[in-house]
Amino acid sequence: MSKFEDHCKESIRLFGKSYYEVHLWLDALANIHGYALKHRKERHHEAGIEKARMIFGEDAVKAARRHIIDDLKMVGWTEKDPFPTDENDYDDNGYTVKKQKEKQQEDPWDWPW
């Protein structure tokens, strides 16, 4: 699940509303030149969830966490792996580049280009 619309649909299915603004905020840097999938290291972690809570309220936490988990799973994260705490931890765990390359090498036709 990498498309913005899919995140909104999943939130409707799970939580009864789209959380459009939360998903938009989490992926806001994705279309900025030079970021692409690297945008995730900026907000796809515990510190990003906390920031979403401060901006959108307590109710946004569940949608933000689900969005991040769905995206992490795309790069090889599992429930057994530690959840990234901040952008440095995201990099230290290799989710910015290493895991994406590993996933691509496993099955390049299954990669979300």
> For residue 13, which phi and psi values (nearest 5 degrees)?
-60, -45
**What is the rounded distance in angstroms from the CA atom of residue 23 to the CA atom of residue 49?**
11
**What is the predicted pLDDT for the residue at 102?**
52
Q: Which residues have a Cβ under 8 Å from the Cβ of 13 and sit 6 or more positions away?
A: none
Tens digit of pLDDT per residue, the chain (113 long)?
458 899 999 999 999 999 999 999 988 767 766 555 566 766 888 999 999 999 999 999 999 999 989 988 887 888 898 888 777 777 766 666 545 545 555 555 554 54
**What is the predicted pLDDT for the residue at 32?**
62
**What is the predicted pLDDT for the residue at 83?**
86
Structure tokens at 56: 């959108």
Structure tokens at 39: 């945008």
**What is the predicted pLDDT for the residue at 29?**
66
**What is the predicted pLDDT for the residue at 107?**
52
Largest CA distance in the chain: 39
Question: Would you call 32 helix, strand, or coil by DSSP?
Answer: coil
**What is the rounded distance in angstroms from the CA atom of residue 108 to the CA atom of residue 57?**
39
**What is the predicted pLDDT for the residue at 113?**
44
